[in-house]
Chains A and B, each alone.
Chain A
Amino acid sequence: MAVFALLAVSPVIFLLAGTFMGNQEIIECIAPVFLDGEGYAFWKVIPQYPTFCNVVGLLLDSPEFFIMFWNSAKISTFILAGQLIFGMPAAWGMARYCFRGKKLIYTIYIVMMMMPFQVTMLSEYLVLDWLKLIDTSAAVIFPGMFSTFSVFIMYRFFCGIPESILDAARIDGAGELQIFLKVGIPLGASGIISSLVLSFLECFSMIEQPMTFLKTKSLWPLSLFLPEIHSGNAGFSMCASFVALLPAIFVFLIGQDYLEQGIAASAMKE
């Protein structure tokens, strides 16, 4: 089992080593792949001649990479903010109130959450085209803001807050909005963070949406960056792949407990 676990994390180790290897050393390792040479490629876990050469090169001489990185940051931030502004109240409303049509809305949200992109692709395109948003970052941001998945995760956690606490607040004279802000949000915080972590990872590896709706390459997020290897840039590609991984791993390490809770919440009733 430990072997499987090692297999799961191996790409991180692979890229980490590659990032600090010099071009020369990488090429020695993988020469057979792109020179059609004899023998097979191999890899080292620890670089023999560690160097920051490629890291520096990436940080200083590659504006296109930075634009993509920045695009990703921008898209993710707006989408997450939108999910908080629109999704959080919706989750609260569905979890804590009974109103006519709630069951129907809930069902619609679940069905929407499960739909693969292929199903919504054309409809998203039609509306974005109508709003003249195609080929702007907004084309990726707006549909993402209204992703029903995050509503669903938050809903699950909001349902777990005991009604008696809310009633106590009502007796003390708190209004419904106040209850949401002062009781609901703090008590549902772990659910909110869970949904943000899951959404962030999703945003950060989004491929289908930007590929379809963004034609201008300078608008592309990092997830569309396709590293290629030829002898000149092996180290650079290696390094770029690693940097593309960093934000996701960072969020993963900080938010890991929430990530697990969020995943588990999608399987359990309550």
Chain B
Amino acid sequence: MANRTKRDRIGWLFVLPSLAGVMIFYLVPFVDVVRRSFRQAVGGGFAGLENYRQVLLNKAFILAIGNTVRFVSICLPLLLLLSLGVALLLQNQKRYREVMKSAYLVPLAIPATSVVLLWQLLFDNNGFLNGIVSLFHIESRDWMNDGTAFGVLVFSYIWKNLGYDVVLWLSGLLGIPVSIYEAAKVDGAGPINTFFYITIPNIKPVAFTIVILSFLNSFKVFREAYLVAGNYPHESIYLLQHVFNNWFSELSIDKMAAGSVLLCTVVALLVLLLQRSWDKSGV
């Protein structure tokens, strides 16, 4: 028994160096941020919820939150359905599965820097896309400086994340024992019945994880937005990161602090939900 406790103390030693780094660079300063979110930027007096009120009434912040909500509510279902569709097609496709999977994963590796040029040429007033569109006698437009900038962002996000989600779905799909499908076939179940009664129930636990991971990845779409449209993009793709960047350059520490705490709360709630589902599926 004593041996066991001693051994577990060694476990602590393994974790300690990393934990110290996480504490120094993330946790302790974040506590400071929480403290600052209740204080005035100048003078440091107690400000109560004043910073939060300012953030929540801030026009740029509201715009960014609105865009983010709109972005997520359009992208997420689209991405999930598309990637599930591709994964289902690949599930029974043994010959080309690996090649296809690789092709879909390539965008994950491509740094945003490298697609800037292509995106510019693609969506310009006289660019590739308008060239294609004109074949169908549709009027050309500047895709990046229009409401369609939002569509470009949606496209970029899906282009980038499709492969990631396909791999995630496949890891769930390929874990379903083939024998269940065979048994269903013997019992005379058609493809539609098999899908609803075997595939869906079996990938439910994975599905929840994919939703949350994809949601969190959507915060990173700023990279594409920044490289294509710079710091002052069309207002339909004005994102949270833009707001934070502006506050940062204005040194509005109080607003940043309150904004971070708000965002942190939302993300933390989602993560706890995710963990709960892991615990359940792990039993």
Contact = CB atoms under 8 A, between A and B. Distances in A.
Interface string B234-278: 000000110011001000010011011001100110111011001
B109 interface: yes
A123 B253 CA distance: 10
A268 to B, nearest CB: 6
Given A114-B271, A263-B168, A269 B278 contact: yes
Contact of B159 (A8, A40, A143, A267): A8
A124 B131 CA distance: 45
A121 interface: yes
B13 to A, nearest CB: 7
B86 A109 contact: no
A90 B220 CA distance: 26
A256 B82 CA distance: 22
A256 B102 contact: yes
A32 interface: yes
Nearest to B206: A267
Interface residues of A, number: 100
Interface in B1-58: 7-15, 17-19, 21-22, 24-30, 32-33
B219 A5 contact: no
B127 A9 contact: no
B171 A267 contact: yes
A37 B260 contact: no
A2 B219 CA distance: 29
A192 interface: no
A157 interface: no
Main secondary structure of the interface of A (DSSP, over half): helix
Nearest to B103: A5
Interface hub of A116, A226, A241 (most chain B Cβ within 10 A): A116
A56 B256 CA distance: 46
A86 B25 CA distance: 14
Interface residues of B, number: 100
A212 interface: yes
Interface string A216-250: 00000011111101000000011001101100110
B33 A123 contact: yes
Nearest to B119: A11
A60 interface: no
B172 A267 contact: yes
Interface of A: 1-2, 4-9, 11-12, 14-15, 18, 30, 32-33, 36-37, 39-43, 85-87, 89-90, 92-94, 96-99, 102, 105, 107-112, 114-127, 142-143, 145-146, 148, 151, 176-177, 180, 201, 204-205, 207-208, 211-212, 222-227, 229, 237-238, 241-242, 244-245, 248-249, 251-252, 256, 259-260, 263-264, 266-270
Top 5 A-B residue pairs of the complex, sorted by shortest distance between their CB atoms: A97-B11, A93-B14, A40-B131, A90-B18, A32-B126
19 contacts: A8-B104, A8-B159, A89-B14, A89-B17, A90-B14, A111-B267, A114-B216, A120-B30, A122-B33, A126-B29, A142-B25, A205-B111, A229-B120, A245-B111, A248-B109, A256-B102, A263-B164, A267-B209, A268-B171
